């Protein structure tokens, strides 16, 4: 009886550990931050690769459709100017996107960015999919993205669901028209310091804009 109770407790604790904490920014913050990119609809898969081992550390997916969304499943980047709803960031202006890349590209990791032009219909489908997916548990960034991409009509043969970011990156590379670039930086591995510096920069710019607007 005691053993059965302990097993049940262990199962519950295991399930709790697999959960992800939901985050839901208010409507007004999301509407205020909205960023609409120019040009044709595109998606960009970001893969963070260890400079030491070549292993994938993280995956993220940016969608440039009617508005720009960054799906950063189980990620650790944050900025007060980018409201979040369950791993989806809104208002990703070019500066915030630079902040995001700078946060990940550092002495121990580089970033592989794979950009692909898509139809407005595919961009809309993926925008809905990332917003409906829900908060992603740790270590499931690649799994969530590969699951979503495999649901695009015609891509099901290219994307097997995978926990491994490099595998998802390699599958994405097989799509016709993908443009790839690698981003390296020698910044410190101290992400906390980078986040604080980025938040301070954003705050200074907001204050400067308020002063300019009030004169």
Domain assignments of the chain as residue spans, ordered by start: 24-214
Residues in a beta bridge with 116: 43
CA distance 148 to 153: 11
* Interval 141-168: pLDDT, tens: 999 999 999 999 999 888 899 999 999 9
Q: 33-72 in b/e burial notation, b at 16+ Cβ within 10 A?
A: bebebeeebbbbbbbbbeeeeeebebbbbbbbbebbbbbb
Asked if 117 and 39 count as a contact pair (C-beta separation under 8 A), the reply is: no
* Interval 51-85: pLDDT, tens: 999 999 999 999 999 999 999 999 999 999 999 99
Q: Give Cα 130 to chain centroid, integer Å.
A: 10
pLDDT, average across residues 181-204: 85
Q: Please name the residue ranges forming H helices in the chain.
A: 2-18, 27-33, 94-104, 120-133, 141-149, 165-173, 191-214
Among the residue ranges 11-25, 33-47, 91-105, the one predicted with the least confidence is: 11-25
Q: Which is more confidently placed, 45 or 14?
A: 45
User: If pLDDT is split at 50, 70 and 90, which confidence band does 19 have?
Assistant: low
> Is 202 exposed, middle or buried (CB count within 10 Å of its CB: 0-12, 13-18, 19+)?
middle
């Amino acid at each position: 009886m005691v053993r059965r109770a302990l097993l049940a407790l262990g199962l519950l604790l295991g399930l709790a550990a697999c959960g992800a904490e939901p985050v839901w920014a208010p409507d007004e913050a999301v509407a205020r931050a909205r960023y609409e990119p120019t040009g044709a609809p595109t998606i960009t898969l970001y893969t963070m690769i260890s400079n030491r081992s070549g292993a994938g550390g993280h995956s993220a997916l940016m969608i440039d459709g009617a508005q720009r969304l960054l799906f950063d499943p189980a990620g650790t980047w944050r900025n007060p100017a980018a409201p979040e709803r369950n791993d989806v960031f809104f208002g990703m202006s070019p500066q915030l996107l630079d902040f995001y890349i700078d946060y990940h590209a550092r002495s121990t990791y580089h970033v592989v960015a794979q950009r692909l032009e898509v139809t407005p219909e595919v961009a809309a489908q993926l925008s809905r999919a990332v917003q409906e997916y829900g908060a992603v548990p740790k270590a499931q960034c690649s799994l969530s993205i590969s699951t979503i991409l495999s649901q695009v009509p015609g891509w099901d043969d290219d994307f097997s669901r995978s926990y491994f970011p490099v595998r998802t990156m390699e599958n994405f590379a097989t799509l016709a028209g993908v443009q790839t670039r690698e981003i390296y930086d020698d910044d410190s591995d101290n992400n906390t310091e980078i986040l604080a510096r980025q938040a301070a920069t954003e705050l200074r710019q907001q204050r400067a804009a308020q002063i300019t607007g009030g004169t």
